Homo-oligomer: A and B are copies of this chain.
Amino acid sequence: MANRFVQKLCGLAELATDDRSAIEKATACPRRYVARQDLIREGDEPGPMFVMLEGWACRYKILPSGTRQIMAFLMPGDACDLHIKLLAEMDHSIQTLTPAMVATVSRADMQALMSGHPNVARAMYSAQLVDEGIMRAWIVSMGRRSSVERVAHLICELYLRARTIGLTGDDEFALPLSQLLLADALGMTAVHINRVLKELRLAGAMALARGSATILDPVKLIQIAGFNENYLHRRLRKAL
Chain A residues with CB under 8 Å of chain B are 42-43, 59, 61, 63-65, 67-69, 71-72, 81-89, 91-92, 107, 122, 125-126, 128-129, 132-133, 135-140, 142-145, 185-187, 226, 230-231, 233, 235-238, 240
Contact = CB atoms under 8 A, between A and B. Distances in A.
A129 B187 contact: no
Give the number of times this chain occurs in the complex, counting copies.
2
Given A88-B236, A144-B187, A136 B71 contact: yes
Given A129-B81, A143-B186, A187-B142, A136 B61 contact: yes
Closest 3 CB pairs of A and B: A143-B187, A142-B142, A91-B231
A126 B85 CA distance: 9
Nearest to A115: B115
Contacts of A139: 69, 71, 135, 138-139, 142
A140 B43 CA distance: 17
Nearest to A68: B144
A122 B69 contact: no
A144 to B, nearest CB: 5
A124 to B, nearest CB: 9
A82 B65 CA distance: 36
A107 B72 CA distance: 28
B88 A129 contact: no
Looking at A64, A230, A233, the one whose CB has the most chain B CB atoms below 10 A away is: A230
Most chain B beta carbons < 10 A, residue from A61, A132, A143: A143
A42 B231 CA distance: 10
A233 B142 contact: no
Contacts of A68: 144
Contacts of A235: 88-89
Contacts of A230: 42-43, 89, 91
Contact of A84 (B63, B92, B129, B226): B129
A91 B136 contact: yes
Contacts of A145: 63
Given A142-B139, A187-B143, A88 B126 contact: no
A231 B59 CA distance: 14
25 contacts: A43-B230, A61-B140, A63-B140, A63-B144, A63-B226, A64-B226, A65-B144, A67-B144, A68-B144, A71-B140, A72-B136, A81-B132, A83-B125, A83-B126, A83-B128, A84-B129, A86-B122, A86-B237, A92-B231, A107-B240, A138-B139, A142-B187, A143-B185, A143-B186, A144-B187
